[in-house]
Amino acid sequence: MTISMKLDGAWLRAAAFATVLSVPALLAGSAVAEDYPSPDETLDWTIAFGPGGGNDIMARTIIDILNKYDLYPGDISAENRAGGSGAVGWGYLFGQAGNAYGISTTSGSFVTTPLQADTPWQPEDFTPVALLATDDLVLVVNGSSEIQNIEEFIAMAKESPVNIGGTGTVNVDFIVPTLFAQRAGFEFDYVSFNSMADQTTALLSDALDAMVGNPGEILGLIDSGELRPLVFSGQSTPAALEGVPTMGDLGYDIGVSMPRGLILTPGAPKEAQEWWIATMQQVVETPEWDEYIEKNTLTPTVLYGEEFREFLASTKSGFSEVLRSVGAID
Amino acid sequence: MDIFSDLMMGLSVAITPINMVYLLVGAMVGMIVGVIPGFGPSAGLAILLPITFGMDPIGAIMMLAAIYYGAMYGGTITSILLNTPGESATVASTFDGFPLAKKGRAGPALVMQAVASFVGGTVGVILITVLAPLFAQVSRSFGPPEYFLLAMMGMLTLIVMIGSNWKLGLLSALIGFALGTVGVDLETGQGRYTFGSAELIGGIYFIPIAIGLFGLGELFYAFYQGLHKTGTGSIVQYDKEERFWPTAQDWISTRMTMARHSVLGFVVGVIPGAGATIASLMAYSTERSISKNPEKFGKGEMAGLVAPETANNAASSGAMIPLLTLGIPGSASTAVLLAAFLLWGLRPGPLFMEQNPELAWGLIASMYLGNMALLTISIFAIPLFVKLIKVPYRILGPTVLVICTLGTFSVNASFVETYLMFGAGIAGFFMRLYGFSPAALVLALVLGPLAEEALRQTLTISRGSFGIFIDRPASLSIIGVTIALVVLLPLLNRFGKSAGDAEKAGT
Amino acid sequence: MRIGFLLVVLAGAVCYTYVAFVDLAFLTRTGRLGPGFFPRIVGVAMIAFTIWALVEAIGKQRDVNADTSGWRDAFILMGLAVGYAVLLRLFGGFPATVVYLALALSILNRGKHAQNAVMVVAIPSAVYLLFDRMLNANMPPALFELPFL
């Protein structure tokens, strides 16, 4: 990491002058794209969050795989450009419009941050490479609860409204139980927490009836029986939650999840997009990738190119619909 | 004894030459990071986490724990010397730490804080070793009602901080509460005072405000007083007559303080989410209310520094309990450690210590060693820091401004936060000048959102009823303890002693 | 000055309270405490206390003997700080620090050119090494690059 690179990282300038810059950058882009990727170009990989977070881990996993199997010929420089719930990092990428060597990984904030703030970019603006996995949620109750399974839970909730905890309101944690409750026909009070740790403590202290959360962080508590998983929101139940039905199994499919994928700058050359799609098809076949999916209890859901863009657009509109109906956003 | 053999096993895992190197490097790096304003343990850990990628888990976790502890030790140094807390847990340390330094007792204050940190940290580890399963029960009995009451207990400190000019003190606290409401409303998801800025979604971060109000405000005020014109002028004096070592009086008068607050700090630290900040504030106000000379607090009373320092380090040990026994991070720092565990494919939870005895006990053993290493490093490093304050203020002042600025920027790479810090610095200068209380503002900023969120969560859960506070045993016992603290202790203490102490505290 | 500062606080409090009453609901649609509940209470209390402090300050105005000797230096440092903030945004961490320190030391540590020159180079370099190299932390990026740095 040299200082000149750091000085380059002026995303605001880039965002402000994006329209001006994009024309020459596009030309430059198509010139190099003939033999994309050129080994002389350094790939500028933006991680829109700090080290150690989910986005960071995913980016570094992919980079490790690219390096291990020699899939990318040049150097890869990964930079954590954190701030503003991802707005800084993806804003930086947005400002590089047309550059074939700007890339980033997405996570839930990629959809939710533009809903909460006036970001100059929208998720559909970027050149989609691939959706690689989704973050899905598990609904759990305290291990000492009388509720043994999801049918009992729904029956109880229909009798008297329950409360369900989750992290944040402009978040999949709120959307998933809301849609699920609509489909299953019960009512609940959503209790919003700042972190998974806060809500888990609240559930263990019997303040909450149930909560939703990413299984990865609470697997230990599920294994030991402190928490009892009832239902999973993804398309297929991960191995660690064997025996837990999905919402789809119950006939209440909600089709909302957080996209973990890969994007290029807006208007990146077609060759670059195609090259990355082909490369990611190899990456998801590696044992390292399987290990990553399993370790982080993600749902492997793979969509390439334009399909990923459609997925982002429909996720975003699904979110804003639910959030608007409860008055969280205008 | 089972625990003993476990601990011995842990020590045998921890004491290898390479692990000792990791431990020492971690402790030193942690301390350096902690000294930089803006970098508390959590920011330090997050930034240094990538260093440990590719190391074996035991060495890595020892190094991370050492960074965590080192930053806790280092953070107080700037609180004492520059009135600039590196993180919320050391705000309470500025209350008496900085006045001590101003009085020319920087050396003894630094030594005592290192000793207090050592005692707090070590007692904390002993309690983890012996009583981890028991305290795991404590950490699982806390829900929103209890957090609300805890925040209220923390706010008792606010009353102490408001000081002599209660109108301006209260106004300062109100400004802090107002700043605390900025950000996306947790319950409804609606933006409050964010004006479309993505940087403000998460609210106003406490660090830039504290660095601005305390650090820069103090700097501007020192220039206002003309300290930079005197030859070796400095905010804090280094009195040549005064010895570097604490006096016998310092040791004797703070013995019981350390004992009390290592236990109190640990117990509060065990509660996930409350952690070191509330522990240090509670320690400060408790110590003041039971002290024989509360009027000296805020003017450089050693017990007023030792109490929060012991408590915040004991609390940082306590925060390991929910992490190790439940897999729940009790603080921002332990959240980074949790991320590291997940990264290595471990599965933190109630079975963690059973499934990974070498790692868990190696970590616990390394905490004993880390505290010892840090006490030693501190004793050697303190004279260097004390020398630093002999640099003429006209040079030190502008340099401190650089470090505060870049420290603030690098935590979240945010220009908005950097500007907030400058704004808070200028506001802090006027607040000092006109008798406001910057400390009350910062405390309100930390505690306000905690209290508001917990209250609203509680009322959502109870469907609007306040009965929940007495229905739950845990919250009922907190109410009992609070009443005891507020009413009984001062009564007992002042019984037979002349009342009418002037309420003067704050910076 | 005291009155001026209080007027600034008052202006802030009024804006804050205005937003609390206009944009933020007192109760949620389910009847719980809404996003505007605390802001409204805090805002009104802030206005009340500021006006109270203002009235007192105006009353006491004559008693305050105007000691303005220290103002100049405090304002110089504040001005330098604001300038530094602007430079950071424009030219990035390292160049801004060099320029700011050069200015600050030439004003505050007047006449000692050699000493100042050493500091101007040594401090930013040390900070750069610590933050960028050792800790791999973020330094402010530049909006415009200076050709000579």
DSSP A163-177: EEEEE-SSSHHHHHH
Q: What pLDDT is stored for residue A103 in this prediction?
A: 94
State yes or no: pLDDT of B33 exceeds 90: no
Interface test with B, best of C44, C77, C88, C113 (most B CBs within 10 A): C77
Rounded CA-CA distance B214/B99 in Å is 13
Is B444's pLDDT higher than 60?
yes
The arrangement of strands across the sheet holding A162-167 comes to A188-193, A162-167, A210-213, A138-142, A227-232
> For B125-162, what is each residue's pLDDT tens digit?
999 888 887 887 877 888 899 889 888 887 877 777 67
Q: Kindly tell me the burial class for residue B1, based on how many C-beta atoms sit within 10 Å of its own C-beta (0-12, 13-18, 19 or more).
A: exposed
User: Residue for token digits 């947005």?
Assistant: A94
Report the pLDDT value the prediction gives residue A181, as an integer from 0 to 100.
92
Say yes or no to pLDDT of A25 above 50.
Answer: no
Q: Whole-number mean pLDDT of chain C?
A: 84
State how far the Cα of C66 lies from the Cα of B412, in Å rounded to an integer.
41
Residue A95 is encoded by which pair of tokens? Answer: 């400002």
The reported pLDDT for the residue numbered C67 is 61
* Lookup: tokens for B403: 């470090």
- E strands of chain A, at which residues? 43-47, 76-80, 102-105, 127-135, 138-142, 162-167, 188-193, 210-213, 227-232, 258-264, 303-304
Q: Is C96 on the interface with B (CB under 8 A)?
A: no
Parse chain A into domains and list their residue ranges. Answer: 3-134+257-325, 138-241
Q: Is the peptide bond before A120 cis (omega within 30 degrees of 0)?
A: no
Predicted pLDDT of residue A158: 93
Task: Tell me the Ramachandran region of residue A131: left when phi exceeds 0, alpha when psi lies from -120 to 50, beta otherwise.
Answer: beta
Mean pLDDT over B66-95 rounds to 85
Once rounded to an integer, what is the mean pLDDT over residues A14-23?
38
B98 contacts B79 by C-beta, under 8 angstroms = yes
Tokens of residue A120, six digits? 């100059």
Q: Do C142 and A7 touch (CB under 8 A)?
A: yes
Among C118, C84, C126, C122, residue whose Cα is nearest residue C104: C84
Cβ-based neighbours of B372, under 8 Å, separated by 6 or more: B118
What's the rounded Cα separation, in Å, for the pair B442 and B448? 10
Q: What is the DSSP secondary structure assignment for residue A246, as one 8-state letter? A: B
Interface of A with C (CB under 8 A): 1, 3, 6-13, 80, 189, 327
Residue A14's pLDDT is 36
Report yes or no: B460 and A189 within 8 Å, Cβ to Cβ: yes
CATH number for domain A3-134+257-325, candidates 3.60.15.10, 3.10.560.10, 3.40.190.150, 3.40.50.1110: 3.40.190.150
Other Cβ atoms closer than 10 A to B496: 6
Which residues, other chains included, contact B429 with Cβ-Cβ below 8 Å and sequence gap of 6+? B216, B217, B220, B221, B224, C74, C78
Neighboring chains of A (3 or more beta-carbon pairs < 8 A) = B, C
Chain-chain contact of C128 with A3 (C-beta, under 8 angstroms):
yes
Q: Best of A5, A7, A79, A116 to disrupt the C interface by mutation (most C CBs within 10 Å)?
A: A7
Query: Do the bridges between strand A162-167 and strand A210-213 make them parallel or antiparallel, or are there none, so unpaired?
Result: parallel
User: Per-residue confidence at C65, pLDDT binned at 50, 70, 90?
Assistant: low
Listed as own residue / partner, the contacts of B149-153 with beta carbons closer than 8 Å and 24 or more positions apart are B149/B469, B149/B475, B149/B478, B149/B479, B149/B482, B150/B268, B150/B271, B150/B274, B150/B278, B150/B478, B151/B278, B151/B447, B151/B450, B151/B451, B151/B454, B152/B451, B152/B482, B153/B278, B153/B282, B153/B478, B153/B482, B153/B485
More confident residue, A117 or A183: A183
CA distance B6 to B4: 5
Per-residue three-class SS string for B98-148:
HHHHHCCEHHHHHHHHHHHHHHHHHHHHHHHHHHHHHHHHHHCCCCHHHHH
Give kind and range of the element (H or E) at residue B451.
Answer: helix B438-461
Whole-number Å distance between alpha carbons of B36 and B350? 36
| Best of B67, B405, B465 to mutate (most C CBs within 10 Å, chain C) | B405
Query: Structure tokens of B9?
Result: 């096993």
pLDDT at A114: 87
A31 confidence band (pLDDT: 50, 70, 90): very low
Give the number of C-alpha atoms closer than 13 A to the C-alpha of residue B429, restricted to the C-beta side.
22
Q: How confident is the model at residue A304 (pLDDT cuts 50, 70, 90)?
A: very high
State percent of chain B over pLDDT 70. Answer: 92
Task: For tokens 């991320």, name the residue.
Answer: B339
Angle, in degrees to the nearest 10, between helices A109-116 and A306-325: 50
CA–CA distances in Å: residue A131 to residues A276, A311, A312, B47, C55: 12, 8, 9, 28, 62
Pairing of strands A102-105, A43-47: parallel
The full set of domain ranges for chain B reads 2-494
**Interchain proximity C135–B228, CB inside 8 Å:** no
Nearest CB neighbour to B219, from listed C77, C137, C138: C77
The DSSP code sequence of chain C is -HHHHHHHHHHHHHHHHHHHHHTS-SB-TTSSB-TTHHHHHHHHHHHHHHHHHHHHHHHTGGG-----TTHHHHHHHHHHHHHHHHHHHHH-HHHHHHHHHHHHHHHHSTT-HHHHHHHHHHHHHHHHIIIIIIS----PPPSS--TT-
pLDDT given for residue C19 in this prediction: 92
How many angstroms separate the CA atoms of A82 and A72, rounded?
A: 25
Q: What value does the mean pLDDT take over residues C120-130? A: 86
Q: Do A10 and C136 touch (CB under 8 A)?
A: no
Locate B404 and state its tokens: 């505060």
Q: Is B184 on the interface with A (CB under 8 A)?
A: yes
Q: Tokens 């009847």 identify what position?
A: C31
Q: Is C99 on the interface with B (CB under 8 A)?
A: no
Looking at residue B238, the DSSP 8-state letter turns out to be B
* Least CB–CB distance from C139: residue in A6, A10, A13: A6
pLDDT of C49 strictly over 90:
yes
Say how far apart CA B125 and CA B129 lie, in whole Å: 6
Interface of A with B in 174-203 (CB under 8 A): 174, 189-195, 197-198, 200-202
Angle of helix C37-59 relative to helix B166-180, nearest 10 degrees, comes to: 150
The shortest C-alpha distance from C134 to chain A (Å) reads: 11
Q: What is the CATH number of domain A138-241?
A: 3.40.190.10
Stretch among A20-34, B213-227, C62-76, C83-97 having the lowest mean pLDDT: A20-34
pLDDT at C12: 94
- Residues C13-33 pLDDT 10s: 999 999 999 888 888 777 788
